[in-house]
Copies of this chain bind each other. A is one copy, B any other.
Amino acid sequence: MIQQIQKDFAPWFDKLSEEQLSKIVENQVSLNYNKGEILSKQGGFASHIIFLSDGLIKVYKEHNDKNLILKIVKPGEFIGLSSLYNKGIFDYSAASIDSSKVYSIQAEIVKYLIRNNSDFAEKIIGQLNQNTSQYFERIMSLTQKQLHGRIADAILHLSREIYESDTFNMLLTRRDLADFCGMSTESAIRILKEFHNDRIVNIDGKNMHVISYPLLERLSEVG
A residues adjacent to B (C-beta < 8 A): 61, 63-64, 66, 68, 70, 81-87, 91-92, 111, 114-116, 118, 121-126, 128-133, 135-136, 138-140, 142-144, 182, 222-223
Contact = CB atoms under 8 A, between A and B. Distances in A.
B140 A63 contact: yes
A97 to B, nearest CB: 20
Contacts of A130: 86
Contact of A143 (B84, B124, B142): B142
A214 to B, nearest CB: 18
B133 A82 contact: yes
Given A70-B139, A92-B136, A139-B142, A64 B223 contact: yes
Contacts of A82: 129, 132-133
- Chain A at the B interface: mostly helix, strand, loop or mixed? helix
A118 B85 CA distance: 13
Contacts of A87: 133
Contacts of A132: 82, 128, 131-132, 135
A114 to B, nearest CB: 6
A125 B122 contact: no
A68 B142 CA distance: 11
B223 A129 contact: no
Contacts of A129: 81-86, 128
15 contacts: A61-B136, A63-B144, A70-B136, A81-B129, A84-B125, A85-B123, A85-B126, A85-B129, A86-B126, A114-B125, A115-B118, A121-B121, A125-B128, A139-B139, A143-B143
A68 B139 CA distance: 9
Nearest to A145: B63
Given A115-B118, A116-B118, A182 B143 contact: yes
Contacts of A126: 84-86
